[in-house]
Amino acid sequence: MKCRVAIAQISAHLGDVKANLEKHLDLISQAQAAGADLIVFPELSLTGYCLQDLVPTVAHHPVADDPVFTPLLEASHQVDLVVGFVDEDSRHRFFIASAYLSAGNVLHVHHKTHLPTYGLFDEGRFFAWGDQVRAFDTKFGRAGILICEDFWHVSPPYLLWLDGADLLLFSSASPGRGINAQPALESACWVEDINRAYASLFTSFVVHSNRVGFEDGLNFWGGSTIYDPNGGLVSRCPYHEEILSITDIDLHQLQRTRARLPLLRDERTGLVLREMHRILAHDP
């Protein structure tokens, strides 16, 4: 089975949801015209990243009567969507979130579980921590969504893998940093290395949609990628440029790779669980 994946590697207007929504709808139309089955937007694509005190003013809830999600759900009849936004729950906690929309339905909402609050990051100051990592079923098989720092930790991708996800959909708003003699920033190299490693270790597809543009002095480096279950690079977007990238992935590659390399079959989940219990109980 083939899946035509569009990555919307775009910039965002900081705090201007209306302008960002228009851009989303335009790109969704373009992706649809190109025959895409799925379009993946970056982290906080509807709001911008360094929101600080703007957080409560840009929040939405992914339901049919929300003014932002109404047109997005309508568009999801044509092509499946992953969009980034600020989710406000009924008790007014704000989450960095990504929603998977398909055929007019919200199939899944992921709340970012790991909020970087160190170095240049301050997410824990403004956002609540998500507390679930769950795979979900799509027409392309079982998938999982993670947002930026979530996949800087190995445990969330591992949990998604065990929960049945063969298609890992990663989104980020990754600030570029670390210059040296190489053409790629150190932050870009690091993310590419781990995404390739996840594809290889979990014999899965890893789709990464990263934003571009600037917010004050921060640059977002783009370089969105798709890796196949062999760890092979299927596509890579340019650094620092807006692009709608369309790539066909062959989902049968999962079978060919796992027939050769049965890492999933041989994963010792019972052993992991026993040892985790021991480690967390500090029992030697």
Partner 1 sequence: MLDLVKTMEHEKIDLTINPDAVRKILTGFITSEITRAGFSHAVVNLSGGLDSALSCYLAAEALGAENVLALCLPYKSSTPDSLEHAALVIKHLGVQSTTIPISAMADALIQQFPDMNHVRQGNIMARLRMIVLYDQSEVFHALPIGTGNKTEILLGYTTLFGDSAAAINPIGDLYKTQVRQLAQAMGIPAVIIDKPPTADLWVGQTDEGELGFTYAEVDQLLFLLVDQRFSPEDCVKFGFAEGFVRAVLERVRRNQFKRLMPPIAKLSNRTVGYDFLYLRDWGT
Q: Which residues of 161-186 are buried (b: 16+ CB within 10 A; e: fewer)?
A: beeebbbbbbbbbbbbeeeeeeebbe
Q: Which is nearer to partner 1, 216 or 283 (CB)?
A: 216
Q: How many residues bind partner 1 (CB under 8 A)?
A: 24
Q: Which is nearer to partner 1, 134 or 236 (CB)?
A: 236
Q: Which is nearer to partner 1, 202 or 220 (CB)?
A: 220
Among 240, 244, 247, 257, indicate the residue that binds partner 1 (CB under 8 A): 240
How many Å apart are CA 132 and CA 245, to the nearest integer? 30
At closest approach, how far in Å is the CB of 56 from partner 1? 12
Region binding partner 1 by CB under 8 A among candidate stretches 73-81, 93-101, 213-221, 267-275: 213-221
Handedness of CA 169, 172, 178, 183 (dihedral sign): positive
The one-letter code for the residue type at 232 is G
At closest approach, how far in Å is the CB of 214 from partner 1? 4
Contact call for residue 213 and partner 1 (CB under 8 A): yes
Q: Which is nearer to partner 1, 52 or 105 (CB)?
A: 52
The residues pairing with 222 across neighbouring beta strands, listed in sequence order, are 239
The residues pairing with 272 across neighbouring beta strands, listed in sequence order, are none
Contact call for residue 54 and partner 1 (CB under 8 A): yes
How many Å apart are CA 143 and CA 249, to the nearest integer? 14
Q: Which is nearer to partner 1, 183 or 270 (CB)?
A: 183
Region binding partner 1 by CB under 8 A among candidate stretches 8-16, 39-47, 165-173, 258-266: 8-16
Binding site for partner 1 (CB under 8 A): 13-16, 50, 52-54, 176, 179-185, 213-217, 219, 239-240
